[in-house]
Amino acid sequence: MDTMEMLQQLEFEGDAFSFELLSVLKIPIIFILIGNILFATFLYLRVRILSDTYKTPRNKMVKQLMAIHMIVVIVGTLLSLLFVILT
């Protein structure tokens, strides 16, 4: 075996180290979406505690709006997560 043949066998292409920018950006996007759900959950709990603490005639409406907001955030985040995973 010639030394040039041994050197050619040792060479490797750069494909093993290649990566796409989109796959690297998926992880922070997923963390941001999870953070969005956590923020909406804490906001929901805070508004619920405040509406239970202070009695006003609009408490029921505020609770309904927060429930709708929570549902919209969860559905929107799940759709966004689906799009991120599929790309």
More confident residue, 2 or 70: 70
Residue 21 has pLDDT above 70, yes or no: no
- Listed by start position, the domains of the chain span 23-86
SS (H, E, C) the chain: CCHHHHHHHHCCCHHHHCCCHHHHHHHHHHHHHHHHHHHHHHHHHHHHHHHHHCCCCCHHHHHHHHHHHHHHHHHHHHHHHHHHHHC
Average pLDDT over residues 68-74: 92
pLDDT digits (tens, 9 = 90+) for 32-66: 989 999 999 999 889 888 888 888 888 888 888 88
State the pTM of this model: 0.63
Predicted confidence at residue 75, as pLDDT, reads: 93
